[in-house]
Amino acid sequence: MRTPLVAGNWKMNKTVREALELVGGLNTQLAGIEGVDVVICPPFTALADVGRALAGSALELGAQDLHWESRGAYTGEISAPMLWDLGCTYVIVGHSERRRGPGESDEDVQRKVAASLANELIPILCVGESLEEREAGRTERIVQTQARVGTLNVEPDQAASLVVAYEPVWAIGTGQPATGAEANRIAGLLRQWLHEWFGDRAGQIRILYGGSVTPETFGEFAGQPEIDGALVGGASLDAAAFAAIVQAFAGRVG
């Protein structure tokens, strides 16, 4: 059985002071929440302070990225052991803004997934097509390739620790999410492919939807049988909005 998961990706937002104010609101809004896992992914600068503020709550700490090496001459990077040492349990890997901006390849993402699992971090592997790829009829090919290459170094007994987030690039930050039916269709294909690669263990892999998830749109996704939660961007910066999305998935075990 899969417990729903809702992860908040704060991206490059919130100073430490602002982050602690938001966490205070989230701790209040989500006090006693059950039946759903909740992950907060602040910027690197706030990880330590946010981690301390989450101590004793039901909310877990995640990071927005990592490097695949454990240490070395990689200026500006942060490693899996560093994140683990700060109390992180999750890490976002392969977000479209990392693929598009710094130009991360599928192979880079593959190494990051492996590094996460090797250091007891749960990777949230992001996959999704651009508008151009969608209009060219390449959605399935792009999503399958990103998922396959990203998980090539994952052993079958590690598969249950994976989280996959379908985030159509054309929907992120546009206010125009995919329909619930379309997101569910892609999630179903992902589950089918994951089963081909990992067998029955794939049944434990949680598949999230990400892309302009708001309190106004979340209901359409929470009711889809193949969607196990959400990767939330802008709405995660508002305690009440994020709490509403979390509560929509609470108790819905797939």
**Would you name the residues annotated as active-site residues?**
95, 167
User: Tokens representing 74?
Assistant: 């990689």
Contacts (Cβ under 8 Å, ≥6 apart) of 112: 65, 66, 67, 68, 91, 93, 94, 123
Quote the CA–CA distance of 122 and 148 in Å, as a whole number: 17
Strands 229-232, 90-93: pairing is unpaired
Quote the CA–CA distance of 179 and 90 in Å, as a whole number: 27
Provide the 3-class DSSP secondary structure of residue 2.
Answer: coil
- Rg (the chain; Cα; Å): 17
CB 86 within 8 A of CB 47: yes
User: Tokens representing 160?
Assistant: 């249950």
CA distance readout (Å), 38 to 135, 139, 231, 250:
34, 29, 10, 10
**DSSP 8-state secondary structure symbol assigned to residue 67:** B
Give the Cβ contact number of residue 12 at 10 Å.
Answer: 9
172 burial type by CB count under 10 A (0-12 exposed, 13-18 middle, 19+ buried): buried
CB 254 within 8 A of CB 231: no
